[in-house]
Structure 1
């Protein structure tokens, strides 16, 4: 069993549903179909099991770094208007398997938007369609029913703890429950803005006919941080081997750092550009406090070279302490249990040529391939220190642990991967093992293999027991670096960024390649850049893009106002700076424009109005091959390429690259844009219809924080006293007056 405590909790929860065992059950006048609170809370094992049901409820389906859980909706495939990881530069539409591009975000300029109807269930804090009179009913598996369950659990602990006299046990169980409550509220606030906050204190307990208003963001943040602080006071910094993976005091303090950082960022903080901002100061203090606690407990000690960096994701056995894992989601490989307790990452990332099962992995867009630093830490600049045709040469050590490409041997197997396209008849084929013409669509010259676990056998990808590192020590260092950047402390910012790079073996010259950013904005951009590299594909990027308004910089972006000749697409440059915008010059917010906004300050390009680019290796694409199989499968130059492994030395890797390039050049393989080489349907964000050919990502300003669902907000539901989120419309239209009075971005 991969995780003993987690398995016991789940089994214990199931036991609660069964008939109790008793030799005298016929004489006892009692219903044994269920246990009552007095049965549960006089037995620590049963109380533990009940918390297991809560844990399962909020984290049970968190089955990979990019596929979230039921209630904690961080990167869920079915929430947030589609797969949220597709809303970044990391992955294109169509991935993982079975996902398709979400037309709510396509560059179709006439797409209508009704307040909230782009957001899949669950809606807001309750299921709107059943909330005909009171939005606070507890009938559905969403935020407040879960909060209610947790609060009842905490109350029962206090009521029955005297029946089993072990204050340490009860305090730790209570601390885990409070931690879970704060985490739920954090994700709710990040997605929806202020919500009513119900804790177990008397002033927070709602009545049956409660009409609690939406709290200001600042108030929610303080409540969340107070919960995490209380959890920290009750929890140990580490657990023993039987309980590894439970929430800890270090994790609680680290979560305060995450909360404070989000609250200080532009999405919530109209004073973000003030180096004296009290929110940035609070975020810095929280980060430093968490770092001190982590260091004292022995966290952050394991990663001292690139191999240790790679192995932190999989090399720690059940019950052993992983110093990089501040929050770890335990997973179980035992197939007798529900598959939702397994980690599905290997299923998603392994291509068919490796697994002999359906799948093509995660092809990496050109934006990600070109992103990673060079070996010396400097950024790649085509024509200067970087050749995009030889993209694998002299890169940051993390590049070789994040991406696989032609010639690479998949970890834990002896299979060599090849990624190139050839023509067969009027169609194209791809060498990653996916069959037919569809197999050549949305492909890349590299795929993701970060966090690949070599101990997961081929055929066992559905039931991997690899634990998920939800919060790493590196994220804490990056949080602190960003706070120093925002407050203008360049020396300390560079110090913390350097620590990230020192851990992976980048040479120390010129501040580990970071250089000397010239001002506060350049420092912030350097921090966001390092997060893109260090935390790539770990489910963190979309949150960074939200909190820094990186889709359009706060200047507004509205395709409706920039349509092209009445067709279903738009001019993105014209759309930028139009429509509703969060930074509108009101209530202490700056008045950003197309030429002056967060993106222009940081020197970044907008994401809205762009698409993911797929570059491929192509073999003689103008000439159909006589057979459907790979025409180069027995090519001598190809067979001469050594298997390129993750842990090669630089000399071994470069020798293999020489052979790879000999194969490439001797067979006239060409690096090409997939759309240009084969047509629009082969592009990462493209297709054959007119609108799909012109597919452009079109995130708009009002998407940063979602609204009350229209079924809940509608006057006929009796909830007219609720404040709608600012920027959202009640009419089924894209233009005209914006509706909503609840403001989430406030000045200090």
Structure 2
């Protein structure tokens, strides 16, 4: 039977625990249905409580692909704040200046109430309850049960504190159960330095790694649980952030202790995971693509952390909305697909691994923007799809994408536009992480394709970046080459990376590879954020764009194009019979894929031209709007409700406090 209920954990016995139900898991508190003795002193009840913690962290957590855990609980993957998706959100809107406490991110949590809410510090409280409860009431628990319980609690607490740090920088560290009525005692909890927070996070993850079973030790029926391997890998992610410019003024020093620590932590994780059988999956781009759906509810050597989803027809279970979003209506989707900004197509390398554009954005190495699909990185064809290419689904394995428009000129000179099966805001749409066998009925509402939160490829990219930042350029290039070799990029010229001798060029190569390998997996915002790539501001020790030679996002705009039928004016689809006779490209089964792309290029050149949109995709009142990010947006101030209830907490610099005075705390330090 397909998994019944999953909050990042597969319940070993479904829901047969003493007649328990979904509602029990949602409502259970240690001092509600059970006494603390029974909750923390009986192994089965303790595990139910831990499962409830999984539920509170990950159920409806915004992790429908492509989103990562990003932020625990229901939140946002911020993809519209990247090159992957267009849209002028509030932090990109030049007409706004967000500075008030009422403008701050509300992730910190809501005000105290009579009921316990699923907020960050409530989730931390649950972890502290487990740690204290097991010590006080767990005399009859087995050693294995104690280790599992504490290991999971330490891991969860670390993840939650890490998320708070990523949003606010300096935050209070709470490592014991607090009583809500103890207002005086609460005043002891101030905003700790980022270093103190990170040290606590790394310490908790180390404890988790020491206590948790490996994936093999958990057993396949507990797939999805937090593991020793995941704790070690998560330490790498945390250390990488701490070494990055957002928190490290010394980031450009190859001798920086933080980069060295991050390298050591990542090497430790990589060595242990390799010894446990983890590694890159597959030997081709086709394997790479199948990895995202082939191992549904099954272990995959590349997957370090996974969120399991249900393909049942129960509304109480969690399902994925990803294929509903990316599939065309003709394929059971909800609309016109997930359109790709044109600049996103430039990011992927050529087939030999060389760059498609230079640092000035000029096409190089034979790249043709009008025929963007020719001679590209093998991953390109499984990240995007476009007119004339097969993209099968459960009802039609031979379904083909056609995504173009044609126009008719009216008597007054204005034009009417007609479209194929979607609007055509971009000639390419996202296809990554789509399962061709998933049930398309009712717009994929029962899609149970699992979400990969942390892959071995990300760990290798962490390693490559640490090598680069510490000056070990050869190992950095070698590690990127491992990732490229897996999808079939040839080994010549360092897998297309060329000869890199400059540390900052190596860092840029790492960041580019992350854009490609991890595209649409909810990772890009956090890379832009930790490297502060939206802007430069020397007054705030932010010059990474200039130092690395990367164009900041500020002042740019995501661009959409139409694939327009050329040399035609009329109402009827001029290509209806032409496309019916065209043999579509099958990227899965082409004997010579690039020859097929050349054939498709000839068809496009004969029938289509890329044309600008009448209304820019990034626009305000119909006029193109460029990205406008402000320095204080990197780390939010505390929201007004938090400052009002906890007046002893300082507000962050760049933000106004509850009384609209300037904040004083440097949240990056």
TM normalised by structure 2 equals 0.89
CA distance in 1, matches of 2:136, 2:549: 57
Query: After superposition, where does 1:51-62 map in structure 2 within 5 Å?
Result: 51-62=50-61
Q: 1:633 aligns with which of 576, 580, 585?
A: 576
- Please give the alpha-carbon distance, in whole angstroms, between the structure 1 residues aligned to 2:231 and 2:32: 37
Structure 1 residues 643 and 158, CA, compared in 2 at 3 Å: closer, same or farther?
farther
How far 1:33 sits from its partner (Å)?
Answer: 8.9
* CA pair 104-499 structure 1, distance change in 2 beyond 3 A: closer
Query: SS where residue 55 of structure 2 aligns?
Result: helix
Change (3 A) 1:608 1:116: farther
Match of 2:81 in 1: 87
1:456 Cα deviation after fit: 0.5
Q: What is the SS of the residue equivalent to 2:185?
A: coil
Counterpart CA distance in 2 for 1:471 and 1:422 is: 43
User: Does the C-alpha gap of structure 1 residues 196 and 347 become closer, same or farther in structure 2, counting only changes over 3 Å?
Assistant: same
1:684 to 613, 617, 620: 617
The residue number in structure 1 matching 2:436 is 454
1:102 counterpart = 2:29: no
Choose the corresponding residue for 2:407, options 423, 426, 442.
Answer: 423
Number of the residue aligned with 1:561 = none
1:695 matches 2:625? yes
Higher mean alpha-carbon deviation, 639-648 vs 363-372, is at: 639-648
Q: CA deviation at 1:664?
A: 2.5
* Residue 614 of structure 1, CA deviation: 0.8
Distance in 2 (CA, whole Å) between partners of 1:52 and 1:256 is 23
Mapping for residues 8-19 of structure 1, pairs under 5 Å: 11=15, 14-15=20-21
Using a 3 Å threshold, how does the CA distance of structure 1 residues 207 and 620 change in structure 2: closer, same or farther?
Answer: same
* CA distance 1:711–1:301, shift in 2 (3 Å): closer
Indicate how the Cα distance of structure 1 residues 607 and 622 shifts in structure 2: closer, same or farther if over 3 A, else same. farther
- The structure 2 residue matched to 1:598, chosen from 538, 544, 564, is 544
| Greater mean deviation of Cα atoms: 601-610 or 279-288 | 601-610
Match of 1:470, SS state, is strand
The yes-or-no answer on 1:728 pairing with 2:655 is yes
Question: Are the structure 2 counterparts of residues 685 and 44 from structure 1 closer, same or farther at C-alpha, using a change threshold of 3 Å?
Answer: same
Do 1:2 and 1:331's aligned partners in 2 also have CA atoms closer than 8 Å?
Answer: no
Deviations 1:328-364 (A, max 9, x none): 111111122524x212211111122321x43222111
> Deviations 1:387-414 (Å, cap 9, x if unpaired)?
1121111111111110101112223332
Q: Secondary structure at the match of 1:347?
A: helix
Aligned partners of 1:157 and 1:282: how far apart in 2? 32
Match of 2:102 in 1: 117
Q: In the aligned structure 2, how far is the partner of 1:300 from the partner of 1:411? A: 29
Confirm or deny: 8 A CA contact 2:389 2:585 kept in the other structure: yes
- Aligned counterpart, 1:739: 662
Could you say which residue in structure 1 is the equivalent of 2:126?
Answer: 149
Equivalences for 1:488-507 in 2 at 5 Å?
488-507=471-490
1:197 Cα offset (Å): 1.3
Summarize the Cα distance change of 1:655–1:126 in structure 2 as closer, same or farther, 3 Å threshold: closer
Residue ranges of structure 1 left out of the alignment (5+ in a row)? 20-31, 78-82, 94-100, 132-136, 556-580, 584-591
Q: Secondary structure at the match of 2:417?
A: strand
Matches within 5 A, 1:429-508: 429-431=418-420, 433-434=421-422, 439-440=423-424, 443-459=425-441, 461-508=444-491
Once the two structures are superposed, the pairs formed by residues 258-269 of structure 1 within 5 Å of their partners are: 258-269=237-248
Deviations 1:41-65 (A, max 9, x none): 4543332222121111111113423
Q: Residue 285 of structure 2 contacts residue 488 of structure 2 at CA under 8 Å; is this kept in 1?
A: yes
Q: Deviations over 1:550-598 (max 9, x none)?
A: 000344xxxxxxxxxxxxxxxxxxxxxxxxx521xxxxxxxx6xxxx21
Contact 2:637 2:651 in 1 (8 A): yes
> Offset at 1:103?
3.9
**Are positions 1:520 and 2:503 aligned together?**
yes
Q: Report the number of matched residues.
A: 638
Would you say the 8 A contact 1:217–1:744 is kept in 2? yes
Match of 2:540 among 570, 582, 585: 582
Question: Cα distance 1:39–1:303, how it changes in 2: closer, same or farther (>3 A)?
Answer: same
> Once superposed, what is the RMSD of the aligned Cα atoms?
2.8
Q: Once the 2 structures are TM-superposed, how far is the Cα of residue 224 of structure 1 from its aligned partner? A: 0.2
What corresponds to 1:169 in structure 2? 145
Is 1:338 the counterpart of 2:316 in the alignment?
Answer: yes
Query: Offset at 1:194?
Result: 1.5
TM-score calculated relative to the size of structure 1: 0.80
Three-state SS of the structure 1 residue aligned to 2:457 is helix
Which SS does the other structure have where 1:151 is aligned? helix
2:559 is the counterpart of 1:613: yes
Q: Which residue of 1 aligns with 2:324?
A: 347
